[in-house]
Chain A
Amino acid sequence: MEDITVYTAAQIHTMDPGRPEASAVAVSQGRIVSVGSIETMQPWLRRYPHSIDDRYQDKVMMPGFIDPHTHLRLSGTYMGLEYVGPIDSAAPDGIRKGLPSRDAVLNQLRALAAEHDDPSVPITAWGYDPASQEGHLDRDMLDEISDSVPIWVIAYAPHIVYANTPMIQMIGVDDDSVGHGIGRYPDGRLNGWFVETEATALATRPVARQVYGPNAGRDAIDRMGAVAKGAGVTTTADLVWGMADGFEPEWNDHAAAIAEGTFPLRIFMIPFEPKLVREFGSDMLHFLDTKRAEGSARLNTHGVKYVNDGSYPSMTLVMNEPGYLDEDGAHTGEIPWEHMVERMLPFWKAGIQIHSHANGDRTLDMTLDTLEALQRIHPRFDHRFTVEHYCISSPAQARRLAALGGQASVNIYFVHFRAQLHSEHGFGPDRSEATARLGSLQRAGAPFALHSDFNLVVTPLSPLLAAWCAVNRLGADGETVMAPGERISVDSALRAITIDAAYILNRDHCLGSLEVGKHADFTILDDDPYEVAAEQIKDITVHDTVLDGESTN
């Protein structure tokens, strides 16, 4: 045994119901040696050299939060562009306010230019709306902000790019260039507009390599890893591994970020099945075995992911009768349902966990039918078949999911951010109010976790906010309780971002609670979520996270 470090805290919630509270946790070589108090862990401390670290003595300690469904690498590109649109937009640091006017946009760009000192890197922004923000931008306007730093702004409806003089030079056009959509002032001088497909593509080329270039994935991992860490997350899973840039590049970016110490999380890469099948065919299971062997406790792979309907906010999920209020925009995934059992069977038989995306209740029915068929063909216990998102469902479906041994990873944020909106748009009042039925899952005995899907849908990433949504179920008006019987207790909600989220990822033997032998991952809070009023859980600030026994700050 190497040296032991003992962390003390004002309160420790272990999320081990057998030994729920503690005041100290002893750590060695990244693992928990003992949980209790300085007194109870004396048998260890008498035998081995140790030190007491009391930096968290006034804080509240919990197991590191787990968000079991994110897309950090894919979403990082959101960060590369500044948002200057007219309406509120989700950003990694929360909701970013819309800008009401052209002047407000110019001021925002001016502030960015003031902090921006590298003229070889353009300022890139998106979301400008000439209709609601009082007219177009142009070259002279942007030159007034800076005539040395290139400025590139793409409109909200991205049919037009605006550029200042340095950006026009970087794009490589001048007054003698021929091309449709290259805008000019009445005197023939370029006005900095690049309109429609070819011209926007031309204008985008120099920034594409910067914003979404070869290093975009790695940059995204670093940036979004920091965002997740700030929200108290120590473990996550990428639920579409391979989809964007391929399996090896995406894996390697994570591996490099971990090796260089820029990514303070544990991550599990869950392969997107259609891509896996296309790329590896009959070698797919062998490939997964190889990567599992290559993986570590920080970066590994498990399971397989299917996407079988659309999304909740875009109203493209598939619903049972009576369907949508208006036009049905529903769409299914690329694998036809009649092929689903056949597609899942090789993984099911190999003992691989299946993560299957189902937002709508019709899709959930199909998913449960598929799971039932798999069980008939090849019965399995403890398979942890997970329905991802679980937005629209019925109590009967929760009971059927439990009966088939399945579990759910739920996007709870929609209850607050979107459900009231969709009462009038798309889903109607009943299904909107009952979005994300956690109470039903709990009554049915189906395990569940809370996730953000960050940042593919317009919601923030914050496990404490997710827990707040689950406990309070307040609509966007901040008053209406959405389906009161679907609320869950504070303890259940906190389990759903710790030990139960570990269970969803099949890692509850080594993560998710503070127990001897587990990885020493902690989230350090300034207040106690069990003590504050339920409405204030989301306001608790994250002080630090600890990964493998070391502070990430």
Chain B
Amino acid sequence: MVNQPIESSSNGLDAAWETVLSTLRSVRRPKELDPPLAAQLDVMLLTGFLGSGKTTLLRHLLENAQGLQIAVVVNDVGSVEVDAHLIRDMTSQQISLSNGCVCCALSDDLSEQLKRIHAEPYDVVVIEASGVSDPVNISQVIEGMPECRLDGIVAVVDPTSLETYLNRVEISHLLSRQIQTAHLVLLSKGDLINESDQQKAVDAVSAISPGSRIIPISEGRIQPSVVLSAALKGISLLNSDEQVDFRFVTSVISPAGPWNPVELGWLLDQSEHRLLRGKGWFADGNGNLHQLQIVGRRWSIDEWVGDAPTELVLISSNPDGLTEAEAMFRECNLDV
């Protein structure tokens, strides 16, 4: 008989400790010198197992950037296979596209690389986490950098292999952690799976991470505004002409506020809203502006310097979820 306690510790313990250590390491310096919100670079972390469809999604984002200048950081630039017509310049380390986007290879020092990207006029950077890494490690590097703001963690899950992977003791913990850490879960390969199998995958993800925002996609197609809050700049709404397999519903709350930020945060924590995303500005009782951003269950409220419309755009995957969320914001009575 194999010693059971050691069996259950198989690689999970090492990985867990590594993550604790990276958390400790990344927060050694107090993050007191944060630049104003607007000067921070949005970072989206893309996670998912090997073969889950991360690269396909990245290719779609790069080719359909809708005016955003996206910097993508990947392990292997060559694997992305961007449409050759879009390529302006190419080296083994970097592909520059004619639409202003760039795809570059992950360097050995991520924080230095992010500082360099921050100095360029990019709207958002998307980092592809290695298929076998715990995204918390990378998210803590980002959390420790004043130049950057973690926009969200998006996991791509392949529903056709999910059950098999979850039954493999040596990888199930890692896959589960990727799903639990994600703010949005994209179920890839919607074109390769029937409805009942897709529902099984949705149930499996929900069991691992109750309340997950799960979006089925095919061939990597998704509107940038769902996965990148930078695409919601200036409350530009979704492009309804775009051909997608999955429809979203959106709504604008206007005017937003006045709300007490503490009470609003508390409301969002308690609520079981089903929003995929929300972004906008609201005033507090003193007339000061705050920016609110929502990605799945995650939210942030930051004081805002300067002018902004007191409006909030909400995105949900179904009309009921949107109606509930609208009601929550319209009817809330937050002491101000």
Please determine whether chains A and B interact with each other in the same assembly: yes
Q: Please report A residues at the B interface, Cβ cutoff 8 Å.
A: 77-78, 81, 85, 87-89, 97-98, 126-127, 154, 156-159, 175-184, 188, 196-198, 200-201, 204-205, 207-209, 211-214, 274, 278, 311, 313-316, 326-327, 329, 331, 334, 417-418, 420-421, 424-426, 457-458, 476-477
**Contact partner, A158, options B14, B19, B170, Cβ 8 Å:** B19
Chain B residues with Cβ below 8 Å from A476 are 2-3, 6
**Contact partner, A426, options B31, B140, B170, B265, Cβ 8 Å:** B170
The 5 lowest CB-CB distance pairs between A and B, nearest first, are A88-B5, A212-B24, A476-B3, A314-B11, A208-B27
Are B265 and A178 in contact, CB atoms less than 8 angstroms apart?
Answer: yes
Chain B residues with Cβ below 8 Å from A201 are 23, 26-27, 31, 140, 143-144
Are B269 and A184 in contact, CB atoms less than 8 angstroms apart?
Answer: yes
Are A457 and B170 in contact, CB atoms less than 8 angstroms apart?
Answer: no
Are A315 and B298 in contact, CB atoms less than 8 angstroms apart?
Answer: no
- Given A78-B17, A89-B13, A158-B19, decide whether A197 and B136 contact each other with a Cβ distance below 8 A: yes
A86 and chain B: residue at smallest CB distance: B8
Are A213 and B143 in contact, CB atoms less than 8 angstroms apart?
Answer: no
- Given A313-B14, A314-B15, A477-B2, decide whether A205 and B27 contact each other with a Cβ distance below 8 A: yes
Are B143 and A197 in contact, CB atoms less than 8 angstroms apart?
Answer: yes
Are A212 and B25 in contact, CB atoms less than 8 angstroms apart?
Answer: yes
> Which B148-196 residues have a C-beta within 8 angstroms of A?
150, 153, 165, 168-171, 177, 180-181
Let me know if B262 is at the binding interface, CB within 8 A: yes
Task: Please indicate which of the listed interface residues B1, B10, B144, B269 has the most CB atoms of chain A within 10 Å of its own CB.
Answer: B10
Total A-B Cβ pairs within 8 A: 150
Distance, CA A204 to CA B2, complexed state (A):
37
B contact residues, range: 35 or more
**Shortest distance between the CB of B195 and any CB in chain A (Å):** 28
Chain A residues with Cβ below 8 Å from B136 are 158-159, 197
Chain B residues with Cβ below 8 Å from A159 are 136, 180-181
Contact with A along B27-57 (1 / 0, CB 8 A): 1101100000000000000000010000000
Are B262 and A177 in contact, CB atoms less than 8 angstroms apart?
Answer: yes
Distance, CA A175 to CA B181, complexed state (A):
26
Are A197 and B11 in contact, CB atoms less than 8 angstroms apart?
Answer: no
Are B6 and A157 in contact, CB atoms less than 8 angstroms apart?
Answer: no
Are B19 and A184 in contact, CB atoms less than 8 angstroms apart?
Answer: no
**Shortest distance between the CB of A346 and any CB in chain B (Å):** 19
**Shortest distance between the CB of A526 and any CB in chain B (Å):** 28
Distance, CA A127 to CA B13, complexed state (A):
9
Distance, CA A274 to CA B109, complexed state (A):
12
Chain B residues with Cβ below 8 Å from A311 are 14
A331 and chain B: residue at smallest CB distance: B132
- Given A87-B13, A418-B6, A425-B10, decide whether A327 and B23 contact each other with a Cβ distance below 8 A: no
Let me know if B278 is at the binding interface, CB within 8 A: no
**Contact partner, B2, options A156, A214, A315, A421, Cβ 8 Å:** A421
Are B24 and A211 in contact, CB atoms less than 8 angstroms apart?
Answer: yes
**Contact partner, B9, options A87, A204, A209, A334, Cβ 8 Å:** A87
B19 and chain A: residue at smallest CB distance: A158
Ordered by A's residue number, 13 sampled pairs between the chains whose C-beta atoms are within 8 Å are: A78-B17, A159-B181, A179-B265, A183-B269, A197-B139, A198-B300, A213-B28, A214-B28, A278-B108, A329-B132, A420-B3, A425-B169, A477-B2
Chain A residues with Cβ below 8 Å from B171 are 326-327, 329
Distance, CA A154 to CA B19, complexed state (A):
11
Chain B residues with Cβ below 8 Å from A421 are 2-3, 6-7, 10
